[in-house]
A and B are shown apart, each in its own frame.
Chain A
């Protein structure tokens, strides 16, 4: 409802912040999927932990500035990923478990992490007498300036900077370092990679750390954009999945682009529909990413990254000629 009242500039800024968080988390899902073939349900709780880390450290335990705790969220959720890999995923991969078992095992991990978030939230409530069941940090963001009469919040810029920085980091890592080459070989052909002396376990460990960490960072960004409860992971996991799938599941950049596609369209389309059809339509917001995902998959069964862009480009060039 609040979104409706706001003018387009403000909606766009919220949408950008939201998309940034989504994009990071989606790229994390993609990263884990392309290396280990595991579609990670535990991303829901990893995102939610990022959200709660920022909330608890900033609002309850330490104070200061919410952005100070972004690295903490990054590392904490990254460690959750490492735990998931070392305790569960590693053994399943060694056994050559099928996709469904890999997926379901991460669901078990997600339920356990979800329980821990709630236990942590209960602890905070009992010890510090704060409401941990409805968290609103959106009003606590740093205001950089004003566009017209509307506050220009720092998260809009910072989320874009983080996403671009992450894309740049992966570009340099994958194309300019030995580790990146090893990573790409492992994705292409794990058996061949291990014959060449590449320790695929290091690659998998890296993927799980970065995947979890990006979910945590995404959650940290989202904490300044949307209000949340301990079930926030459950709410955002669907657009995250959608973004990752739309991105094609085999390209980190695809995940990032998918996040912006899903996030921007979710917020902007619902706003547009709200202004055309009336405010009642706003509750259907969560359906929009699902529709976009379904439409993309039915047109391109392997997502955006599955499209041969070069061929489309050359075809359009040749037709012009």
Chain B
């Protein structure tokens, strides 16, 4: 039985669906906190994602290199990149504890970087409204991608860099991809549980109150500026971790791949399909979309025989049409948002029953 499942998991298509789903789940959940709960039009999701990827790839990598006495300056991202990361990988391979430490360090740096970006984004977010804010955030994301692409000392520029393989301790080859996918999936589940508890907390309810009626929230003593800044920092930190995990999984960082379409607009589409403001819906939307994308990607050559157009464009067309259809026919998504109960239903019922008895 166990072996059967393992064999199934070794299928590269299944792995690709799972890892795509896990990474995008983290990013989309972070978007859901900001847009679904707090109502901030976050069209610059890629900003925190790319910052996290740089944090894990370039900054955490340099920290590791410095700790091991390897060159960590400009050489790290230059010609020596391969050699230095090779040395680091050898050390990580021989010592599982060190490797786990490196994973945690990478994620921590990524979360801090993403959080900083969220904090920076809060500067316009408390001053601007709707379209002005959305486009300003979009501009922030694009600007960081351009810097990442052309400023070589940061993270290798257009050529990109290879990243220390923190999953190396389980081995190389298939087993490495399988176990790293499972680890990323595990982290995604933790993030889901965290975001879900956030939604049920007083903080989550305050965010929804602010989204639905800012004035009323203010009247009840909620500090709007503080709430928005906190939301953006939490969302940014989570998105940064998402970007970092993708970089760590693929083992390389290239600013070119962290574009607006993939890391801002795709998560938006996932969120809209699943249900804005509903975490379970986000899981569903992400699962559906990553399956479709991975299937198109995997069966590209087979598809070419059936349709006269390049399957790449089929992906764009399909996702475009899905977005339009959701907007037109089911704007609340597959699973619409519903009020989150602060306690379990059973507990609330029993409290209500005991109160009724008391009367």
Contact = CB atoms under 8 A, between A and B. Distances in A.
Interface of A: 33, 39, 87-88, 91-92, 95, 97, 99-101, 103-105, 107-116, 118-119, 122, 234, 238, 241-242, 245, 249, 283-284, 286-287, 290-291, 293-294, 297-298, 301-303
B124 A294 contact: yes
Contact of A122 (B35, B129, B147, B309): B309
A297 B127 CA distance: 9
How would you classify the secondary structure of chain B's contact residues: helix, strand, loop or mixed?
Answer: helix
Interface residues of B, number: 45
A105 B328 contact: yes
A104 B146 contact: no
Closest 6 CB pairs of A and B: A108-B323, A111-B320, A112-B320, A105-B327, A108-B324, A115-B316
Interface in B68-86: none
Contacts of B327: 88, 92, 97, 101, 104-105, 108
A238 B142 contact: yes
A114 B320 CA distance: 9
B128 A297 contact: yes
Contacts of A95: 331
Contact of A119 (B268, B313, B323): B313
B272 interface: yes
A105 B316 contact: no
A290 B143 contact: yes
30 contacts: A39-B134, A87-B324, A95-B331, A97-B331, A99-B41, A99-B131, A100-B35, A103-B134, A104-B272, A105-B324, A108-B319, A108-B321, A108-B324, A108-B327, A111-B320, A115-B314, A118-B312, A241-B135, A284-B146, A284-B147, A284-B150, A286-B142, A287-B143, A290-B142, A293-B136, A297-B124, A297-B128, A297-B136, A298-B124, A301-B129
Contact of A293 (B130, B134, B139, B319): B139
A199 B69 CA distance: 74
Contacts of B138: 238, 241
B321 A114 contact: no
A110 B313 contact: no
B310 interface: yes
B229 to A, nearest CB: 16
B122 to A, nearest CB: 13
B120 to A, nearest CB: 11
A110 B319 CA distance: 11
B331 A101 contact: yes
Interface in B227-269: 260-261, 265, 268-269
A112 B136 contact: no
Contacts of A97: 327, 331
B317 interface: yes
Contact of A112 (B129, B265, B269, B317): B317
Contacts of B319: 108, 111
Given A294-B139, A298-B127, A301-B128, A111 B323 contact: yes
Interface in B327-352: 327-328, 331
A84 B284 CA distance: 28
Interface in B114-155: 123-124, 127-132, 134-136, 138-140, 142-143, 146-147, 149-150
A185 to B, nearest CB: 22
Contacts of A283: 146, 149-150
Max count, chain B CB within 10 A of own CB: residue among A110, A113, A290: A290
A88 B324 contact: yes
B91 interface: no
A119 B311 CA distance: 10
Contacts of B143: 287, 290-291
B14 interface: no
Nearest to A37: B131
A290 B321 contact: no
Interface string B139-181: 1101100110110000000000000000000000000000000
B105 interface: no
Contacts of A113: 320
Contacts of B313: 115-116, 118-119, 122
Contacts of B265: 107
B322 interface: yes
A111 B136 contact: no
A245 B134 CA distance: 11
B6 to A, nearest CB: 37
A164 B124 CA distance: 34
Interface in B277-330: 309-310, 312-314, 316-317, 319-324, 327-328
